Structures are given as structure tokens and as C-alpha cells.
Amino acid sequence: MLPEPFKTSDNGTFGEFTATQRWPTIIQNAIDDMNTELQSQSGECKKQGEAIAAQLVELRDEVAGNAPLRPFTHRETEIAAVPSCFNEYLADSRHQGATWFNAGWLFTEVYMYRRMNVLFKTHPLWTQFDIFNRLKQSTFHSSLHGVVELALRYKNLRLQLDKLSTQHDDETLRILFKEFIDISLWGNATDLSLLTNATLEDIKSIQGAQARKNAESKIVIDDTAKAWDALLKARTTARVDFVLDNSGFELYADLMLAAFLIHSNLVKNCVFHGKDIPYMVSDTMRKDFSALLEDLEDTKFFPTDDQASREALDVFAQDIRKLVKDGQLEFRADPFWTTDLDYWNLDPSETKYHGAQLHSDLVKSNLVIFKGDLNYRKLTGDRKWPRTTPWAEAIGPLATNGITLLSLRTCKADVQVGLPEGLDEKLSHAWEKDHPGKGSWWTSSGKWAVICFHSSR
């Protein structure tokens, strides 16, 4: 028997806390941003925007008041192209009587972002508006320090990469691979749904090289070596996919990893999979990808103290633009990624919502990197597994259906698998000291991370 998925009603869990405390705040922040936006609007646009703001208030009250989860109306489904899986879930007899604080955590969280999106999609002058854009941009703006540090590192390395690969200096490349995997991993620590009140110092403290060094011991599972071996097997012709998570600093870190892989001739091309609607506050959409390159090149957005830093930012942005132009870096946004379906559905058996389609494409990749916490939750079905459950068991069909995968996750939720005997107890005990009654929340703190690989090939 499979364990149940986590519910928003599970007493004392981070999921329960998230639903009851964090979601109303996230919607309130969206209302505040909408009101700021409306100050510069007029006429019909302002009128429609005010209607959206009022409906956001209703949604906030619905959540805070633990209202029943209602199906999307026919009109909403049509106009906003809502996938029917949401209403199918709610119509299922197992989910009758679901309310915001008594339903599957994963489902309800994804449903909330869809409800928000529907408000914009049903107002013709606001269909493309990203309510989280202001926050995404301002946090990336605050990331100047970490952004410049990485750009300088990249620029210094860039010229040596060709040499390393023609000389087959695999030992050095392996060490660099580890470094760029860590950069991409800890890039996930900059998550706007958790960093709602972060200061510049907070952001600096999680983005630099020193921070990564300090955090090395916090990687409790590390399969980097296995991923390296998988890549070497397909050397030079390899394709690597990124199932992206957050825009801004994390996307920047992912682009660093992709550029490193391509320029060291380990990999031929990378495919980035983003989101088709604003999602989980900070997740990457196509326009965020374009905005990031423009931000890097914008001397007002990133004013630098010295010429070398400015050059480094320009070099990196130009490198990425060239990779895109040459077809070595591609961005896609399938609607599957913003449904509530977990990744056990990335399988030939899921024929309704693109699961089979994506599966048949992803098996062609030599490595599919799933970024971040939500992707880890979807890989494991967000179920209440014992924390020592083997990774291959928790990922279900993905253990055997031919996708070679790597999950890079800083831990920000209750679900956790793959730990050696005794480690959960040890870390829970340590976390309990400063967080009485909440020892098991070490897996939700963002302080620890896991790097989990699997291949059935």
C-alpha cells in the first residue's frame, strides 16, 4: 500500500503551516502589488484591474476562512484554458468535502496558483500580466553581489574550458562539474515564496562562493559522481534537460551550469522546461528567461563598480544569446508542468495531459535535471514515505521507464526519502534544540539539500 500524499490538515506539519499561515500572506502580497500597479493605470484597464484586485481579496478570504475547494466554472475553463485534471480531482469521491485546510497539500497549492491565474486570464486587458513580476525583478536586482561573483568566475574559466576538453583533462572537468552542480543546487535557496521579507544581507549570505563552501556538509545525499558518469558515457553528443524552478538568481545559476556543460564539450545541447503561467511565486516563464538576459546587460539594473564586472556580465549574456541562436539552448513551456499531476505521470500510461508525450521526449535526454523543492515533491508524489525509503521506490515508474534523472533540491517541505538509518533522528534532534516541537522540520528549513540520481538504462 502506498503512503498517502501530505494533506494541509496534517497536524504539526510544514504543509499545514504553509496553507494556514503562508498562503494568505502570499495572496495579500499579490493584492498589495496589484494596488501598486493600479496607481499607474487608467480607464478600462484600471477598471478591470480593480475587479481582479477585489477577486483576489475574495480568494484570500476564501483561503483564510477554510472554504470548500470549488471546481472551475465552464466559463473559467474555456477562457483560461484550465486543464480538466483540476475538476476531475475535485469530482473524485476520495476528495469529496475538500476544503483549503483539509485537502492534499500538493493539489491545493497548485490549485491556488491556478485560481489566481484565472482571475487575470478572464480579464482581457490583463491576460498576460504576471502578478509576481515585481517581486521577481526586485529580488533579482538585490542579487547583484552573487550575480557579479559568478559572472567573474565564469569569465575566467571560459577561455580555459576548450583547452581542458581538448586535452581530455577529465579530472579537472569533474571537479568543475561538481562546482557548477553546487552553484545550480544552492541557486534554489533563493526562493521568493520563502524569502518574502529577505534583506540584502540575507540574500548575499546564501548566494556566494563562501556560502556554498560552508553549506557543503549540509548536502545529506550526494549522487553527483553518478550523474558525472552518466554524462561521460554520452560525451560531446549528450543532451541535458532542466526542469526549471525559480527565475532570477536560480535561473542564472542554471544557465551557468548549462553554459559550462556546453563550452566544456561535455554536452551538445540543453533544453530548459519552464512554466506557462505565473506559478509558485517565482517559477520561470519564457518572458523571465528573456528578462534575465536584458537585466544582465542593463547598466542601470546592475550598476557595477568596475569595468571587469561589467564585462563579465556582458560576456555571459552574449554567450547565452549565442547558444540560443545556435540552437544549443532551447526554452519550452509545456502545460503539464503547471498541472497538479505528480511526476509518476511522466510515463507512457498518462495520455491525457502530455505525460506520455513528455516522457517520450525526455527518454532521449542523457540527463534530466529536476530543480528545486516542488519538483522533488512531484517526483516522490509528495507522499508520507518513511524517510529511509529508497529513492528508486519513491519515484515509482520513473525508476524503470527510461528517464535518467537528477534531482537538485534544497529541502523545503515535509517529504524526504533516501536517508541512511539514523540520520533523520540525528538531524531532527539537532533542529529540535532551536525549534522546540518542530525537530522534523529540518527538511523544510531550506538549510539542507539533496542531490539524487537515478537511471534505469
Residues that bind ligand F6P (CB under 6 A): 18, 109, 188, 191, 193-194, 245-246, 280, 372-374, 377, 412-413
**Residue 378: partners with Cβ closer than 8 Å, 6 or more residues away:** 106, 341, 342, 343
CA 248 to each of CA 187, 252, 292, 381: distance values in angstroms, whole numbers, following the listed order: 9, 6, 7, 27
Amino acid at 294: E
Does residue 26 bind Mg ion (CB under 5 A)? no
Nearer to ligand F6P, 29 or 366 (CB): 29
Nearer to ligand F6P, 117 or 188 (CB): 188
In 3D space, the residue among 398, 407, 403, 390 whose CA is nearest the CA of residue 181 turns out to be: 407
Does residue 283 bind Mg ion (CB under 5 A)? yes
In 3D space, the residue among 115, 105, 106, 128 whose CA is nearest the CA of residue 56 turns out to be: 115
Number of Cβ atoms within 10 Å of the Cβ of 307:
8
Nearer to Mg ion, 83 or 372 (CB): 372
CA angle 168, 366, 167 (to 5 degrees): 5
**Residue 110: partners with Cβ closer than 8 Å, 6 or more residues away:** 338, 339, 340
* Per-residue contact string for residues 71-110; x = within reach of Mg ion by CB under 5 A: ----------------------------------------
Q: Which does 412 bind (CB under 5 to 8 A by kind): Mg ion, ligand F6P, none?
A: ligand F6P
Residue from 52, 244, 262, 280 touching Mg ion (CB under 5 A): that is 280
Nearer to ligand F6P, 165 or 284 (CB): 284
Nearer to ligand F6P, 173 or 413 (CB): 413
In 3D space, the residue among 388, 364, 368 whose CA is nearest the CA of residue 378 turns out to be: 368
Nearer to ligand F6P, 109 or 361 (CB): 109
Residues 220-259 that bind Mg ion (CB under 5 A): 245-246
Does residue 266 bind Mg ion (CB under 5 A)? no
CB of 321 to Mg ion, least distance (A): 25
CB of 338 to ligand F6P, least distance (A): 13
CA angle 67, 61, 381 (to 5 degrees): 55
Site size for Mg ion (CB under 5 A) = 4
Q: Which does 18 bind (CB under 5 to 8 A by kind): Mg ion, ligand F6P, none?
A: ligand F6P
In DSSP terms, which residues pair with 5 in a beta bridge? Answer: 383
Q: Which does 377 bind (CB under 5 to 8 A by kind): ligand F6P, Mg ion, none?
A: ligand F6P
Number of Cβ atoms within 10 Å of the Cβ of 168:
9
- CA 184/CA 242 separation, integer angstroms: 11
Residue number closest to Mg ion, CB atom: 280
CB of 91 to ligand F6P, least distance (A): 24
**Residue 226: partners with Cβ closer than 8 Å, 6 or more residues away:** 453, 455
Cα radius of gyration rounded to whole Å, the chain: 22
CB of 374 to ligand F6P, least distance (A): 3
Nearer to ligand F6P, 309 or 375 (CB): 375
- 3-state secondary structure at position 382: coil
Nearer to ligand F6P, 161 or 192 (CB): 192
Binding site for Mg ion (CB under 5 A): 245-246, 280, 283
